[in-house]
Structure formats: C-alpha cells, structure tokens
Amino acid sequence: MISDLTTWQITLPLALAAAVIGYLLGSIPFGLVLTRASGLGDVRNIGSGNIGATNVLRTGNKKLAAATLLLDALKASVAAWIMTYFAGEEAGIIAGFFAFIGHLFPVWIGFKGGKGVATYIGTLLGIAPVMVLLFGAVWLAVAFTTRYSSLSALVAMLVIPLALWMFGAEKVAAVMAIMSAISYYRHKANISRLLSGTESKIGAKG
C-alpha cells in the first residue's frame, strides 16, 4: 500500500497543468456570481460572509443556494473528469484536489473562499464516485441523529478517507485525508460551537 502511495507516474508538466486547471476552475466563486447576477448584492456582506451555499441560503433564495451547491461541487468534478480523460487518473486526482484548494482560496476574490464541503463532494464525484453515496449516507445518519449539519459533514469527511484506504485506493485516500484536515481547520469555528453547545441545528430559527 505504501509503495503505491509514494509511486506517482504522472510527469511534472502534466501535474502542474492539472493543478493550474483545477485551481482556476475551483476559484470560480459561484455563490458571489449568482447572488450578484440575481440582484441580491454581495453575499460576503450577508450572514457569515462566506461564499458557499449555506450563506447564500441566508438571502432567502433556496433555488440560488441549491444552484450554488451544485456548481461548487461540479467545478471540482469537471476539473477531475477533464484531466482524467486527457491525462489519466493521477492527473484527475491532482485536479480535483486543487479545485478544492481554489474554492477555499480563490484568486479572484482575495483568497477568501468557502469551507469546501460541496467542492469536497465534487472531488469525490470526479475521482471516486461510489464514495459520494457513502458520504451522503453518513451525512444523513448523523444529521438525523444530531440535527447538526456541520457535524454531519465533519463525520463524513472522517469516514471517507478511511473507507477509501480500506478498499485499496491509497492515493485517493491520502488526498481526501489532506482535504478533510484542511476542511476541519476551515470549520474550526463550527467545531468550537459544537463543543460549547452553541452550534445552530438544522431547521433552527434565528
């Protein structure tokens, strides 16, 4: 397993191309673009100031939030699909990872992006699509039990790398583990509120 993890066959030029394409696609701030195009202003001035779907939902426009969620996921999937098609699986993994990084640190808006859950799922869809079902199942189970959306995502992002490793997808598991760790850091405020019992539950008012 370790030997497979450390023996990447992709050439440096292809790896760099995958990284650049993934990052640029991931950097597209769909939440900001959609809210502005809909005449709702700058989503960064609303709620948490985040550009993700959860904050777009705070505008009161559910369809816009759903569109943001879908597009934030698909930009990573498309990056992975394109590079996998033209340059192989390893290029797809790299492209998906950097799309995730692009969403978190988008060059177009001062490197201040979202928390990455949708783009994490989109990367999974692009490089290990079956695992999207597992992510969804874990998310729903935890959400049904606890009513915490953030906790549901955090638990799912813990399970996914472990499951990938168990099924022998070491390279994908390693990359998803790094993404999980980064997303955990981006969720540090949510984790603090979960620990203190002040995190908002799904369906809570105000």
Mind listing the pLDDT tens digit for each residue in 23-54?
A: 999 999 999 999 999 988 888 888 777 888 88
pLDDT tens figures, 8-22: 899 999 999 999 999
pLDDT of residue 195 exceeding 70, the answer is yes
Q: Where are the alpha helices (DSSP H) in the chain?
A: 2-6, 12-26, 30-37, 53-57, 62-87, 89-104, 117-127, 130-146, 149-166, 170-186, 188-196
pLDDT of residue 123: 97
Mean pLDDT (the chain) is 92
* Every domain of the chain and the residues it spans: 12-196
127 and 174 Cβ atoms separated by less than 8 Å: no
- At residue 51, what are phi and psi to the nearest 5 degrees? -95, 5
Between 160 and 50, residue with greater pLDDT = 160
pLDDT band for position 1 (cuts 50, 70, 90): very low
Mean pLDDT of 83-95: 96
